[in-house]
Amino acid sequence: MYSVNYHVDYPAFSPSPGAAPRQLAALSLHCIHIGQENSRYRPFNNIAGKKYSVASVADAISLIDRLLIEKSLIPDVIVFDQPYRREEMSIFFSFLQTRPQVAAIPVLYNRDQLTPAAIEQIRRDGKVDDLVSLLNLDNRIAEKVNFLKKIKNHPPVPFYRKEADARSTVSAPQRGSYLKRALDIFIASALLILCLPLFLLVALAIRLDSRGPVFYTSLRAGKGFRVFRFYKFRTMEVDADKKIQKLAHLNKYGSTEKGPLFLKICNDPRVTKVGNFLRKTSIDELPQLINVLKGDMSLVGNRPLPIYEAVSLTTNESAERFMAPAGITGLWQVNKKKKPDMTADERVQMDISYARNYSFLYDIKIMAKTPSALFQKSSS
């Protein structure tokens, strides 16, 4: 049964005595590579500490079972390097779920050989943790893998159950997830239909007030550090993101080299006249209902963060906030009215608290405390 052919590669070079800590950490990254060997993948070969190479999904499954039986070292990451086949991937992920020892191993896919259609399909399927280029890897891949392992190894307690009765309610996670998603779809759909005339009026006002598109889109990091395109009505002048550095000295949260990086500028000069009204009424947040329907976000959760903020929260102390769904409103929005001068660390702690305790009933309580939860003004 375990006659699969595979070979093990060891690092192409050894670290020198003066090697940087980041390089040393990268060299300890063990992986399973699924696909054909390619001499052009020198950056990948150098970074991998111990690499098992197999040619197919079937071989990878046999290899993993053999490693488990022999109680060998479990790889840190699985890297796919072949054309994307949905059926094979479905079988592979189903297999991983039957093996608790490897269920949380991050799965990456080499995008160098993928078509745009295949990349889009991978993102829609939502099984692969991230897309990477094996031709252009650097030592930061170790940090990414370690972060993904933390996220996948520490899932939050879903629905209404607590740690004490987790063993007796095996099906609760599924029920909680389905109820939360059903509520998201129902409310988001109803609000989008009801607000369609308002959308048209807002679009007209934005176009008359300043040049540029009606919608503002940006990449945000949500649950599990998954990046998605985030929608809002445009409230700032065009190219406002490029002026962040010039306005950093006005940041309400201050400028610090340690701790999380958040940006909030009072009386932001980049905001347009119509944009100022949209922000005060939180109408600018309405397009996020589209993100809710797409499954990028939930009605209640932690705010999805711009990439420059998210990268400052990948440490052991902060990464836990990404274990909860991204949301339009949440615990931080409920409490910021009581404490408008909340520090960045306090905000992160609230996000972590929600990630540890969120459930369907908890979401209902948060929404009940904020009758205008869907239209809350936000600084993100």
* pLDDT digit string (tens) for the chain, length 380 residues: 334 444 444 333 333 334 343 343 444 678 899 988 776 777 676 666 677 889 888 889 989 988 888 888 788 899 999 999 888 888 888 888 888 888 888 899 998 888 988 988 888 887 888 888 888 876 677 777 877 777 666 544 333 333 333 333 334 455 667 889 999 999 999 999 999 999 999 999 999 998 889 999 888 888 877 778 899 999 988 766 555 555 555 555 555 444 445 556 566 777 889 998 998 888 999 999 999 999 999 999 999 988 777 766 766 567 778 888 999 988 888 877 666 677 778 888 899 889 888 888 899 988 888 765 444 444 44
Taking CA atoms, 92 is separated from 67, 74, 149, in Å, by 16, 17, 18
What is the DSSP code (8-state) at residue 378? -
Domain ranges of the chain: 7-153, 172-375
The token duo for 279 is 């922000």
From 3.40.720.10, 3.40.50.2300, 3.10.20.30, 3.40.50.970, which CATH number describes the 7-153 domain?
Answer: 3.40.50.2300
Q: What whole-number distance in Å separates Cα of residue 238 and Cα of residue 217?
A: 12
Taking CA atoms, 369 is separated from 119, 185, 208, 310, in Å, by 41, 21, 36, 27
The vertex-305 CA angle with 352 and 175, nearest 5°, equals: 55
Q: At what angle do helices 86-97 and 116-125 cross, to 10 degrees?
A: 30
The token duo for 224 is 């599990």
Stretch (H or E) spanning 299 = strand 298-300
Q: What whole-number distance in Å separates Cα of residue 75 and Cα of residue 52?
A: 9
The answer to whether the beta carbons of residues 96 and 116 sit under 8 Å apart is no
The answer to whether the beta carbons of residues 330 and 303 sit under 8 Å apart is yes
**pTM to 2 decimal places:** 0.55
The token duo for 148 is 């993904």
The token duo for 70 is 């022999």
